[in-house]
Amino acid sequence: EESSCRMSRNVAMESEKGESPGVRSLEGKITQSDPPTLAFPSISTSDFKFSHEKAAEIIVEKVEEFMDKLGNARLVLVDLSHGSKILSMVKAKATEKNISSTKFFTFVGDITKLNSEGGLRCNVIANAANWRLKPGGGGVNAAIFSAAGPGLEVATKQQANSLHPGNAVAVQLPSTSPLLNREGVTHVIHVLGPNMNPQRPNYLNNDYDEGCKLLGNAYSSLFQAFISIVQ
Ligand code: AR6
């Protein structure tokens, strides 16, 4: 059995350009204090039961692929606990590949309290959503909908009613949202990852060929949506 997903490797060399972070941005602006930052959870690896090893491989491949499209923006993988397996695997793989630790790093904390509790300002956060884009259900989805207030559900409905696995949709938070006012989050990007939990919709029955493809698509959609917001 294949132990991990093999993805294209031809992006590996491009991240090593030796640029100094914070000096240039997409529009040539110098924004050294608060660079645009996307905080994202590890999609599919908890309730959706996707392999942590395969997910870590895909996260690092996709981060690497988007490095040179980021300008001065940053990507941050977040999880709740210091014991997070996914964070340590991703950290090790990113170090191995010499990915710039100012443009991509991991962070332990609640994604809805990064600024107030962690002192990390992220203008965009990603949500590991369900296909109906509904609040609740546990995990990061329940936490984000609850912290954002009812305005997130309303604003989400104006963008989309559902998502297919592998896709993402960006939603701007209304001006009344506590997530905006307390945390400085302007957008939530909902992402639907592949599901390996037989008790959830779109169950893939251990088909990791399809699962890895969909998780790769999910991160591409997420990072592309983030870049569209900040450029
Ligand atoms: N802050 C940071 N990370 C978190 C938080 C938080 N508040 N809560 C969970 N995580 P999951 P999935 C981490 O289960 O596997 C929902 O019910 C968690 O440790 O939220 O994609 C939806 O409605 C893990 O690393 O998402 C869907 O039906 C990561 O977030 C389903 O779960 C993702 O865990 C999606 O399942």
> Mean pLDDT by 10-residue block, N- to C-terminus, for the chain (231 residues)?
41 33 36 83 98 98 98 98 97 97 97 97 98 96 98 98 98 97 98 98 98 98 98 90
What was the pLDDT predicted at 34?
85
Contacts of 200 (CB under 8 A, 6+ apart): 47, 48, 130
The atom of ligand 1 lying closest to the CA of 144 is 7
What was the pLDDT predicted at 37?
98
Total number of domains in the chain: 1
The finding on whether 138 has its CB within 6 A of some atom of ligand 1 is yes
CATH code of 123's domain: 3.40.220
Q: Is 94 helix (H, G, I), strand (E, B) or coil?
A: helix
Nearest-CA residue for atom 27 of ligand 1: 130
Q: Please, where are the H alpha helices in 41-150?
A: 52-66, 85-96, 114-118, 139-148
Structure-token pair, residue 146: 């609850």
The finding on whether 137 has its CB within 6 A of some atom of ligand 1 is yes
Cα–Cα distance between 186 and 211 in angstroms, integer?
30
Q: Is residue 17 part of a domain?
A: no
Tell me the CA–centroid distance for residue 83 and ligand 1, in Å. 15
Q: For the chain, what is the mean pLDDT?
A: 89
The atom of ligand 1 lying closest to the CA of 193 is 21
Q: Is residue 13 part of a domain?
A: no
Q: Is residue 26 part of a domain?
A: no
Q: Is residue 224 part of a domain?
A: yes
Q: Is 142 helix (H, G, I), strand (E, B) or coil?
A: helix
Structure-token pair, residue 57: 């491989």
Structure-token pair, residue 64: 């690497």
Nearest-CA residue for atom 28 of ligand 1: 130
Reported for 145-154, long-range contacts at CB under 8 A and 24+ positions apart, including other chains, are: 146/112, 147/112, 147/113, 147/178, 147/179, 147/183, 148/112, 148/173, 148/177, 148/178, 148/179, 148/185, 148/188, 149/176, 149/177, 149/178, 149/179, 151/176, 151/177, 152/177, 152/179, 152/188
Contacts of 2 (CB under 8 A, 6+ apart): 208
* Per-residue pLDDT reduced to its tens digit, 178-212: 999 999 999 999 999 999 999 999 999 999 999 99
Cα–Cα distance between 72 and 102 in angstroms, integer?
10
Nearest-CA residue for atom 5 of ligand 1: 140
Q: Is the ipTM of this complex over 0.90?
A: yes
The finding on whether 89 has its CB within 6 A of some atom of ligand 1 is no
Q: Is residue 11 part of a domain?
A: no
* Per-residue pLDDT reduced to its tens digit, 76-95: 999 999 999 999 999 999 99
The residue to which tokens 């029955």 are assigned: 205
Domain around 65: 32-230
The finding on whether 25 has its CB within 6 A of some atom of ligand 1 is no
Rg (CA), the chain: 17
Q: Is residue 23 part of a domain?
A: no
